[in-house]
Structure 1
Amino acid sequence: MLSRARTTVLAAASALALTAGLALTGAHAAPDRAGKGPAWTAAWAASPQRPSTGFEPNWSEDGFSGQTLRQVIRVTEGGDRARIRLSNAYGSSPLRIEGATVARTEKGASVQKGSVRRLTFGGKRSVSVPAHEQLSSDEAGLRLAPFESVTVTLHLAGTTGPATFHAQSFATSYRADGEHTADTGAEAFGESTESWYYLSGVDVSGSRPAKRDGVVLFGDSTTDGFASTADRDRRWSDALAERLAAAGTARPVLNAGIGGNLVLNDSAWYGERSANRFARDALDLPGVGTVVVLQGVNDIGFSESDTPTYKPAPVVSARDLIEGHRELIRQARAKGVRIVGATLLPFGGSDHDGKRAAAVSDAFNDWVRTSGEYDAYVDFDKALADPDDPQRLAPEYDSGDHLHPNDAGYRAMAHAVAPNAL
């Protein structure tokens, strides 16, 4: 099935290239230079993936032509200005955006009247995002509160070809024929899917002094929120942001999970290996100060499956997995970002289970707990284990596949994190 990786957070500022007034980046997402416009904080993020079939129907391989795409996300930080980040990381040709808007969400594909803001890019309504690049819009004057739902609408007048996307959003996106970026109603948006396309981030500014206190959760399907209730924001990243806010220690929490993602190997379905995407998806997000890494169960579990979705699935040792995590630690330290490790959740009885995988998991978890190589650690293995069978998820936390938590399990993960670890 899908993988799980545990939480990851963090971020740092990186270099910015200004091209025709746009914040344009290549391999890394780059926040504004000091003194060049407002200080931005990432309020929501999704990790880009190459177009692929995936487990559920999606529009990534066909792309779009003469259509309007409407996507709903929820921010974990507020501000009085907002901008979006668009990714054409896996496009083979420039992506033409003819128009874009941002608005407060009403319900489904409808938005609040009076909240629609037309987005510009270098002062222009249309823009081309070069192949393998990403860019940010200009700021829009839209006041957002933490945990508010935001709707981003893109008009794709031409034929895009295969679309950079995030496969499993656990949120509904909508499509209409023609130009409907300013529509407040949902009537035109007759098609839907549970993926995000081209949209890789929403940043905010102006609510408070800029801080590097954002937390990125980095990992696989467990971080991504697999088996959480769709359109209800029940991933463990959502639960952690809510818990921190309730405790009076509110801060942005960003999700950098990709279902099936691996520490050591690339995959057509499951994204680039962790070290290759770590800077782009975590360390370089504006305002990030901590990353929580939960990853490795797919590396050790895919080879146990009778029908693996990743082939060939190499046999990975604990030493191999630890070296992969050490590379993430090195990258984070080089950026001045705090990095927190997480033990792998129990997976007994799942399609990842086997004597070899269990032994590797135990050895890896022992390293996370005792090596001191991470700045801190979170023990999800103990927090979600069945007291009567510690190799398995506790029944009240099991989504049913014995690999991924349910909504209650994701809340338990959030409560397993000591705030001082962040």
Structure 2
Amino acid sequence: MVPSRFRTRLPRAAAITAMVVALGTPVGSASATAIPAATVDGSAPDRSPSVAESRGGGHGQAWSGSWATAPQWPMPSNEWLGPNWSMDGFGGQSVRQVVRLSTGGSHLRIRLSNLYGTMPLRVTGATIAKTGVGAAIRPGTMLPLTFGHAPHATIPPGQTLNSDAVPLSAAPLERLTVTLYFAEPTGPATFHQGGLTTTYRAVGDHRFDNGAEAYAGGTSHSWYYLTGVDVAGGPQAARGAVVAFGDSITDGAISTPDADNRYPDELAERLVAAGKPIGVLNAGINGNMVLTDSPCFAGDKGVGRFTRDALDQPGVRAAIVLEGINDIVPSGDIGCGAPPLLTAEQIIEGHRELIRAAHARKIKIIGATLTPIKGNDLYYSVQNEAVRDEVNQWIRSGGEYDAVVDLDRVLADPEDSDAMRPAYAAEDKLHPNDAGMRAMASAINLRIL
């Protein structure tokens, strides 16, 4: 549980800002190599032998990521970020999850992760369909998913798995519903806490239910085991994907739930409107830091997860990095261990490590300046502002990123450049609201993608 001294000290929005209010299982050494892109016709990609994978049938086009989220350790629920089911996991239950694609295709597959599992994950069965209202799906669109042509699968701890391809044609920005059924106890679940999208749970096997009646027993705003949906084929086949990599601002914290108003969602809408079939994948995690693992809930450090969560995404062609605020302002010890104080030079060297990793894979990497923090009592100080300014000056003028998006200046208040423009700021003065998310996406020159 969250210490009462912390609960009473912060209002709800400020508590989200603090980003360390959930106490969870300490981060261990489990890791997995993300599954590389395969072709729809099942030709074998290069891959690590430790990765569990299945391949599907189709027309031979390469896969491209259309939706993704970054996996996290299981963690307890808390009063600010809402309930989640990760600590208990599932058993004899169906989990129905909704995602919005960024690009369309004639064939789809899903990606599942047991990265932080402590036991084999047995998926009894799964389906995919076009989303109706709430937990309901559109009649006539449901298809069973298979894994290596079997209706069930077992994913060892620390590994990931692709489903086979299914011939379900989906349009850009269309919502899909993935339902997983677990007949046996799963143990604590690899999940993504800040989904900002309603997930539904039902007792028993309700994979094939068109209606929502069985799913009336409880909801969560997190995603469980599901880390990606890939597309291939179709008249406007995706030409690769761009990964938005970062912390809670990328993850969409304080944007409107169930509205897909995160800045990567807004960027996807711009690309669709411009007729550019490029996927946008969100690899943000609330509280994430460039250089420090979080033993509570903010995920593996950016330099540790960048290859897995960004560079290994199917069809990735570019990555946008917006991260470092949480390295400047460690949140202190509330039971998670106190992160170290870092200098601008250390944070810059962390960014350089990300740049080297992207360039080694011939992937374009775009640096985003760190957004304003003045007005937030937990984050702003004269000393912290000096570090933010130094990091931003290097991002702007260092010449090491392939391109730069100056989100600091886009969001800054004309009357006080250290603060966020009131029209763009959420209550905590740190996170952008929906309008701020749109402004961020609008600032990205689509040609650099």
CA 1:286/1:196 → structure 2, altered by over 3 Å: closer, same or farther?
A: same
Please give the alpha-carbon distance, in whole angstroms, between the structure 1 residues aligned to 2:59 and 2:291.
37
Within a 5 Å distance, the mapping from 1:258-297 to structure 2 comes to 258-268=285-295, 269-297=297-325
CA 1:13/1:192 → structure 2, altered by over 3 Å: closer, same or farther?
A: closer
Unpaired runs of 5+ residues, structure 2, are 1-15, 20-33
Partner of 1:47: 70
SS at match of 2:88: coil
Deviation at 1:251, TM superposition (A): 1.5
Please give the alpha-carbon distance, in whole angstroms, between the structure 1 residues aligned to 2:52 and 2:394.
32
Please give the alpha-carbon distance, in whole angstroms, between the structure 2 residues aligned to 1:82 and 1:25.
23
The answer to whether residue 93 in structure 2 is matched with residue 93 in structure 1 is: no
Select which of 287, 291, 300 maps to 2:328. Answer: 300
Within a 5 Å distance, the mapping from 1:209-248 to structure 2 comes to 213-248=240-275
SS at match of 1:180: coil
The answer to whether residue 171 in structure 2 is matched with residue 145 in structure 1 is: yes
Please give the alpha-carbon distance, in whole angstroms, between the structure 2 residues aligned to 1:328 and 1:334.
10
Please give the alpha-carbon distance, in whole angstroms, between the structure 2 residues aligned to 1:357 and 1:29.
44
Larger CA deviation: 138-147 vs 348-357: 348-357
CA 1:119/1:377 → structure 2, altered by over 3 Å: closer, same or farther?
A: same
Within a 5 Å distance, the mapping from 1:119-158 to structure 2 comes to 119-158=145-184
Partner of 2:283: 256
Partner of 1:337: 363
Q: Look up the equivalent residue of 2:160 and give its one-letter code.
A: Q
The answer to whether residue 435 in structure 2 is matched with residue 412 in structure 1 is: no
SS at match of 1:245: helix
Work out whether residues 13 and 287 of structure 1, in 8 Å CA contact, stay in contact via their aligned partners in 2. no
Work out whether residues 216 and 288 of structure 1, in 8 Å CA contact, stay in contact via their aligned partners in 2. yes
Work out whether residues 35 and 162 of structure 2, in 8 Å CA contact, stay in contact via their aligned partners in 1. no
Work out whether residues 90 and 163 of structure 1, in 8 Å CA contact, stay in contact via their aligned partners in 2. yes
CA deviation profile, 1:3-43 (whole Å, cap 9, x unmatched)? 79xxxxxxx99487xxx99998688898979x995411111
SS at match of 2:196: coil
- How many positions carry a matched residue from both structures? 409
Give the root-mean-square deviation of aligned CA atoms. Answer: 2.6
Within a 5 Å distance, the mapping from 1:10-409 to structure 2 comes to 14=36, 38-53=61-76, 55-190=81-216, 191-208=218-235, 213-268=240-295, 269-303=297-331, 311-350=337-376, 351-409=378-436
Please give the alpha-carbon distance, in whole angstroms, between the structure 2 residues aligned to 1:209 and 1:354.
49
Please give the alpha-carbon distance, in whole angstroms, between the structure 2 residues aligned to 1:352 and 1:413.
21
CA deviation profile, 1:336-375 (whole Å, cap 9, x unmatched)? 1000001000011112111221110000000000000000
CA deviation profile, 1:49-85 (whole Å, cap 9, x unmatched)? 0101253211000100100000000001101111100
Partner of 1:9: none
CA 1:32/1:320 → structure 2, altered by over 3 Å: closer, same or farther?
A: farther
CA deviation profile, 1:171-216 (whole Å, cap 9, x unmatched)? 0000000000000000000210000000000011112586653111
Deviation at 1:380, TM superposition (A): 0.5
CA 1:200/1:400 → structure 2, altered by over 3 Å: closer, same or farther?
A: same
Deviation at 1:409, TM superposition (A): 0.2
Please give the alpha-carbon distance, in whole angstroms, between the structure 2 residues aligned to 1:323 and 1:31.
38
Work out whether residues 302 and 310 of structure 1, in 8 Å CA contact, stay in contact via their aligned partners in 2. no
Scaled by the length of structure 1, the TM-score of the pair is 0.91
Partner of 1:7: none
Q: Look up the equivalent residue of 1:204 and give its one-letter code.
A: V
Please give the alpha-carbon distance, in whole angstroms, between the structure 1 residues aligned to 2:48 and 2:112.
10
CA 1:68/1:116 → structure 2, altered by over 3 Å: closer, same or farther?
A: same
Work out whether residues 25 and 135 of structure 1, in 8 Å CA contact, stay in contact via their aligned partners in 2. no
Work out whether residues 215 and 252 of structure 1, in 8 Å CA contact, stay in contact via their aligned partners in 2. yes
Q: Look up the equivalent residue of 1:230 and give its one-letter code.
A: P
Work out whether residues 3 and 222 of structure 1, in 8 Å CA contact, stay in contact via their aligned partners in 2. no
Deviation at 1:165, TM superposition (A): 0.1
Scaled by the length of structure 2, the TM-score of the pair is 0.86
CA 1:31/1:153 → structure 2, altered by over 3 Å: closer, same or farther?
A: closer
CA 1:170/1:182 → structure 2, altered by over 3 Å: closer, same or farther?
A: same
Identity of matched residues, %: 49
After the TM superposition, list the runs of 4 or more consecutive aligned residues in structure 1 that deviate by more than 6 angstroms.
Answer: 20-33
CA 1:187/1:177 → structure 2, altered by over 3 Å: closer, same or farther?
A: same
Work out whether residues 130 and 176 of structure 2, in 8 Å CA contact, stay in contact via their aligned partners in 1. yes
More strand by share: 1
Please give the alpha-carbon distance, in whole angstroms, between the structure 2 residues aligned to 1:173 and 1:114.
21
SS at match of 1:71: strand
Please give the alpha-carbon distance, in whole angstroms, between the structure 2 residues aligned to 1:30 and 1:41.
16
Q: Larger RCO: Structure 1 or Structure 2 (Cα < 8 Å, ≥ 6 residues apart)? A: 1
Work out whether residues 108 and 166 of structure 2, in 8 Å CA contact, stay in contact via their aligned partners in 1. yes
Q: Look up the equivalent residue of 2:71 and give its one-letter code.
A: P
Please give the alpha-carbon distance, in whole angstroms, between the structure 2 residues aligned to 1:180 and 1:253.
31
